[in-house]
A = this chain, B = another copy of it.
Amino acid sequence: MAKVRLPRRKKKRRTGRVGAPPGALEIDPNAPKPVLRAIAYGPDELEEHEVTDLAQLDALEERFEVLWLDVVGLGDAAVLQRLGERYALHPLALEDVIHVHQRPKLERYAKNHFLVMRMMRRPKDGLDAEQLSLFLCEGGVVVSFQEREGDVFEPVRDRLRRRSGRIRQRGADYLAYALVDAVVDAVFPVLESIGDELEELEGQVLEDPTTESLQRIQGFKRELAQIRRMLWPLREALNQLQREEPGRFTEDTLVYLRDCVDHTVQLVDLVESHREIGNGLMDLYMTGVSNRMNEIMKLLTIISTIFIPLSFLAGLYGMNFDTGSPWNMPELGWRYGYPFTIGLMVAIGAGMLSYFRRKRWL
């Protein structure tokens, strides 16, 4: 048996946390430097800028109804701190933005709503669940923080750029909803890809159950458990959001958020159903392994039980009794002794084979 390893779990080390002052922005040295992309729009106009100086934002905020500031990369404490001051982001919230191992959650601060979610994607090498931190601030500003380039928001950007889109007519709360919706809906293809692979694995398990298939089953179970652990608190957070008094969120947007909660419930359902399939695969694997074993044992039994009596017979006539006495092995002197013995052996073998066949062991 070759030395096989389970796929490495991505480490999420919380180094240097014990006893550190809360709210301290301890930047992960490997985190990419932040890039700030602003999309500012109203019903009629839309502008996209890469922001290098926060002062650029003053003008945009003034001219447009809604400003979406998308911060990609968390590798610079100074930038984050200045953003924190500008938009009154709580130090603890900023700490959560940087420590990218948060469970999805909703925090309501005096001046903004803070939502942590996970953008799920599933490249070849396993589940990727990048943390997305979203602030809905006063004055029509939405600030989002991503760990690195690449997100699930391209369709939202497209809808923003199209002047006809409903989204252009609405406020920052609807934009926040649209981003949440994109994050939630991105889980569907992830689960579909797991579902497809589970189905493919099923055939493989039935055909040839190997240790590798066991490890894949376990890998899927872990992925599903991980997704589940992200969906439950997400559902909870969105549920809280949807039950908000209309205020920062218009009543209309809250209806849309209810739809979003609905989708998370569907996702949880899907995950549960995939988990059941995974458990079923586990049973199939176990049965497959024991079936193989049984097949091998059956063959041993059949070959052994057929040949052991025949060998005994051959051994019998190999005895060296003194054939001088007429009582001793007279068969050896018979004219047709050998053909008769061979015939007897064939008959015994055939009888056993037919017995096994009748017992349906063959």
Instruction: List the interface of chain A (C-beta within 8 A of B).
Output: 1, 3-6, 9, 13-14, 17-22, 90, 92, 95, 101-103, 105, 107, 152-156, 158-159, 165-167, 178, 181-182, 185-186, 188-189, 192, 199, 202-203, 206-208, 211, 214-215, 218, 221-222, 225-226, 229, 255-256, 258-259, 262, 265-266, 269, 272-273, 276-277, 280, 282-284, 287-301, 303-305, 307-312, 314-325, 327-329, 331-339, 341, 360-361
- Within 8 Å CB of A288, what residues of B? 211
- Within 8 Å CB of A185, what residues of B? 14, 17-20
Asked if A276 meets B206 with Cβ closer than 8 Å, knowing A19-B152, A320-B320, A338-B319, the reply is no
Residue of B nearest to A225 (CB): B276
**Which of B152, B215, B328, B334 is A18 in contact with, Cβ under 8 Å?**
B152
**Which of B90, B165, B334 is A21 in contact with, Cβ under 8 Å?**
B165
Tell me whether B321 and A218 are in contact (CB under 8 A): no
Nearest 3 A/B pairs, CB to CB: A19-B155, A314-B315, A317-B319
**Which of B229, B328, B339 is A273 in contact with, Cβ under 8 Å?**
B229
Alpha-carbon separation in the docked complex, A4 to B287 (Å): 14
Alpha-carbon separation in the docked complex, A360 to B209 (Å): 12
Tell me whether B338 and A203 are in contact (CB under 8 A): no
Alpha-carbon separation in the docked complex, A102 to B185 (Å): 14
- Within 8 Å CB of A323, what residues of B? 322
Tell me whether A206 and B18 are in contact (CB under 8 A): no
Among the interface residues A158, A277, A308, which one has the most CB atoms of the partner chain B within 10 A?
Answer: A308
